[in-house]
Amino acid sequence: MRIAPSEITPESVYLDRRRLLTGGAALLAGGLARADDDKPTSWDVITSYNNFYEYSPDKHAVAELAKNLRPRPWAVTIEGEVARPRTLDVDELAREFGVQQRIYRLRCVEGWSMVIPWDGFPLAELLKQAQPTSRARYVKFVTLHDPARFYGQRRPTLPWPYTEGLTIAEAMHPLTLLATGLYGKALPPQNGAPLRLVVPWKYGYKSIKSIVAIRLQEEQPATTWAQAAPGDYGFWANVNPRVALARGTQSRENRVGELRKRETLLFNGYAEQVAHLYAGMDVDKLR
C-alpha cells in the first residue's frame, strides 16, 4: 500500500491527536503509559542522535552516513523452528500485518532516554503466522551484513552481523513491536530502516535495526553486545534502576532535551504489563 503525502500526519497534528488519546484508547492499546509526562521527543532529535555502529560509534555522524542504506527492496526471512518458514518483502509484510501507532519510551544504557511514536505491528502476529514448533524457545534477530553499505562493518568494532535475541514469551508479548515507521513516515535509515525491533521495557541495544532474519531456535542466541562487553550487556537487559552495570549506576536518566534527570523506572515503566514474564525469577539477578 502506497501512502499519499496528503495522508501523512504532520507532526503538530499528530501531537494534538495524541493528547486526545491519552485518556483512554492509547492507554488501553498498551502503547504508552503516563500521559503528559511522556511528551514525544521531536522528529529532529529522534533522527539526528542515533546509535548505529554499522555506520559509526559517533551518534551525530550516523544520520549523514546512513543516507546510503537503500532500504528497498528488502527481504526478511522467518526461519528455524517454524512450520511455515518464509522469505518476504518488507512492504508485503507491512501490508499483511497492517500498521499501528505506538508511543514508547526508549532507554539506552548510556543514560539517555526518548519518547518515540513508532509505526509498526506486533512481532507476535508474524510469529503466530509462521507457526513456531514446540522446540522454539528463543527468537534470534540478525541485521544485514554488507560492508559495502555499512562502513562500520569494515572494522571489527563489534562481532558482525549485529545479533539480538528474546525468549519466545518476550517475543510474543503484545508490546514487542516490529517498527516500519516514525511519526507516520517511513523509518529513516538512521533509525534502522526498513524494519527494526522495539522492546520498550529493555535497554535500547535489544531494539535491533535493519533486520534481515528472524530465527526461532531451541538455544539462547549469542548476542552482539553481550559478547563485546559482558559486564555491561547481557541477554536479558531489562531496564532496572536497582542494578548497576560495569559502566555505572542505571538509577537515573536524562530525557534528551531536558535539564533535570529523571528516576529510571523498573522495566522502563512497563512493569504492570511485563513483570509476569519474569515470575519466579529474581529480576535483579538477570543481566
Ligand X SMILES: Nc1nc2c(c(=O)[nH]1)N[C@H]1C(S)=C(S)[C@@H](COP(=O)(O)O)O[C@H]1N2
Which residue positions form the known binding site? 50, 53-54, 108, 143, 191, 196, 207-209
Residue 66 contacts ligand X per CB under 6 A: no
Are β-strands 75-80 and 211-217 bridged in parallel, bridged antiparallel, or unpaired?
parallel
Least spacing, CB of residue 67 vs ligand X, in Å: 15
Which residues does 159 contact at the CB level (< 8 Å), separation at least 6?
A: 224, 227, 228
Residue nearest to ligand X (CB): 204
Cell numbers 551484513: residue: 145
Q: Which of 81, 232 has the CB closer to ligand X?
A: 232
For 17, the 3-state DSSP assignment is: helix
Q: What whole-number distance in Å separates Cα of residue 144 and Cα of residue 114?
A: 25
CB of 207 to Mo ion, least distance (A): 8
The reply to whether 200 sits near Mo ion by the rule CB under 5 A is: no
Backbone angles phi, psi at 286, to 5 degrees: -85, 110
Binding mask 104-143 for ligand X (x = CB under 6 A): --x-x----------------------------------x
Total residue count of the chain as it appears in this document: 287
Q: Does 108 bind Mo ion (CB under 5 A)?
A: yes
Closest CA to 222 of 163, 166, 167: 163
**97 near ligand X, judged by CB under 6 A:** no
Q: How far apart are CA 160 and CA 146, in angstroms?
A: 10
204, 235, 237, 264: which one binds ligand X (CB under 6 A): 204
Q: Which long-range contacts (CB under 8 A, 24 or more apart) does 154-162 make?
A: 157/53, 157/57, 158/53, 158/224, 158/225, 158/228, 159/224, 159/227, 159/228, 160/54, 162/53, 162/54, 162/208, 162/209, 162/224
Nearest by Cα to 105 from 169, 46, 192: 46
Please report whether residue 207 would count as binding ligand X according to CB under 6 A: yes
Strands 138-143 and 211-217 turn out to be antiparallel
Rounded to a whole number of angstroms, the minimum distance from the CB of residue 153 to ligand X is 10
Residue 93 within binding range of ligand X, rule CB under 6 A: no
Known binding-site positions for Mo-molybdopterin: 50, 53-54, 108, 143, 191, 196, 207-209
Q: Among 18, 102, 105, 209, which residue sits at the site for ligand X (rule: CB under 6 A)? A: 209
Q: Which of 38, 54, 81, 232 binds ligand X (CB under 6 A)?
A: 54
Number of residues that bind ligand X (CB under 6 A): 17
Out of 41, 50, 223, 238, which residue is the one contacting ligand X (CB under 6 A)? Answer: 50
**Strand pairing of 86-89 and 75-80?**
antiparallel
Diameter of the chain measured on Cα atoms: 51
**Binds 52: which of Mo ion, ligand X, none (CB < 5-8 Å by kind):** ligand X
- The interface mask with ligand X, positions 213-242, x = CB under 6 A, is ------------------------------
For the bound state, the minimum distance from the C-beta of residue 279 to ligand X, rounded and expressed in Å, comes to 27
Footprint of Mo ion on 39-68 (CB under 5 A): 51
Interface with ligand X by CB under 6 A: which residues? Answer: 50-54, 106, 108, 143, 162, 191-192, 204-205, 207-210
Interface with Mo ion by CB under 5 A: which residues? Answer: 51, 108, 204-205
